[in-house]
Amino acid sequence: MTSSATLDLSLELLRQPSVTPVDHSCQNIMADRLEKAGFKIENMRFEDVDNLWARRGTESPVFCFAGHTDVVPTGSLDAWGSDPFAPEIRDGKLYGRGSADMKTALAAMVVASERFTAKHPNHKGSIAFLITSDEEGPSINGTVKVVETLEARNEKMTWCLVGEPSSTNTLGDIVKNGRRGSLNAKLTVKGKQGHVAYPHLALNPIHMASKAIAELCETVWDNGNEYFPATTFQISNINSGTGATNVVPGTLTTLFNFRYSTEVTAEELKARTLEILDRHQVNYDIEWTLSGLPFLTPVGELVNAAKKAILNVTGVETVLSTSGGTSDGRFIAPTGAQVLELGVLNETIHQVNEHVNVADLEPLAEIYEQILEGLLAE
């Protein structure tokens, strides 16, 4: 297999066992390269999380590459065909934890920036990197804290490209120009424990909640719009009972999630949920957790630059999408930046034997470089 700059840096990053929230030198490896290309390096550590803010230039507009060095745990090593932190190339595929999500994208970003700045040492505006080691974890001390720091000193991003694996069948066929919001709830329904033979002396929380839960499942929350599918409601866990067949349980606990579009707000979803529970006379406590607001980058400079670069490099007419889970783009978009996610194929992310096509690595770096050309070439 012919070596390349992007592959070589990918291998170096993949050898670091950077399971959330440990960075394990990944950011130092990237920072050393970026510093040589003229970037000012700023390490931001919050609690146990390492973050990197690197910037070349002092003027606007600011183009930022964003991503994460942390990876999810490997699971059973016996299930892997090779050591997940000793990357191997087999049949044209690069295997290793983080190969798709998203160390190869990080390598492509660095290589693209090196090449672009060598050609355009006096480029317009600024190029920046916002890299965290807390994207796969609780996401408390990572990108959100860096953004808060930047906002406090009025340091703004104009465009942000997140290297999440967005592609589905071929490189660049899908880019994410937004994400749905994510609202979680823990619902505790309160009944009264008792003997099943004396139901009049007990109050079954399962029976009490069943009609309300059914209505929540059947409710149409919205119909989506041009960019977003309809809001979805999904129950991820229901737990009740003592394990005995002759005991009416005292409580029922349900976990559920809304993935919601821009057609509805988190507050509206909360209010409608409570109205349903109250109408069915459910006795309950509920705890809400907002994981992220929905965001959308409409067609504009960043989207057009990405579509043009993908077409030039791969011949693919890319499709805009807002599907999938959340990403750190949810912390960056509220600052006013245009945010786009573009990376390798996502077929094997978080799986055993995670891998990426080696043949996609150099084209990805070329796409990133051409986006920089389109936005910042002098």
Which candidate, 160, 101, 154, 96, places its Cα nearest to that of 130?
A: 160
Dist CA 132 CA 21 (whole Å):
9
| Token pair 């999440």: residue | 164
* DSSP secondary structure string for all residues of 322-377: --SS--THHHHGGGT-EEEE--SB-TTTTSTT-EEEGGGHHHHHHHHHHHHHHHH-
Q: Are strands 178-179 and 194-195 parallel, antiparallel or unpaired?
A: unpaired
Q: Which amino acid, 286?
A: I
Cβ(176)–Cβ(327) below 8 Å: yes
Give how far Cα 251 sits from Cα of 210, 246, 273, 326, Å: 13, 15, 19, 31
DSSP-based three-state secondary structure for 294: coil
Specify which residues 41 forms β-bridges with. 54
Cβ(112)–Cβ(18) below 8 Å: no
Instruction: Write the CB contacts of 152 (distance below 8 Å, at least 6 apart in sequence).
Output: none
> 123: buried, middle or exposed (CB in 10 Å: 19+, 13-18, 0-12)?
buried
Dist CA 302 CA 188 (whole Å):
45
Dist CA 179 CA 164 (whole Å):
12
Which amino acids are annotated catalytic? 70, 135
Dist CA 378 CA 375 (whole Å):
9
Specify which residues 373 forms β-bridges with. none
Q: Are strands 49-56 and 40-46 parallel, antiparallel or unpaired?
A: antiparallel
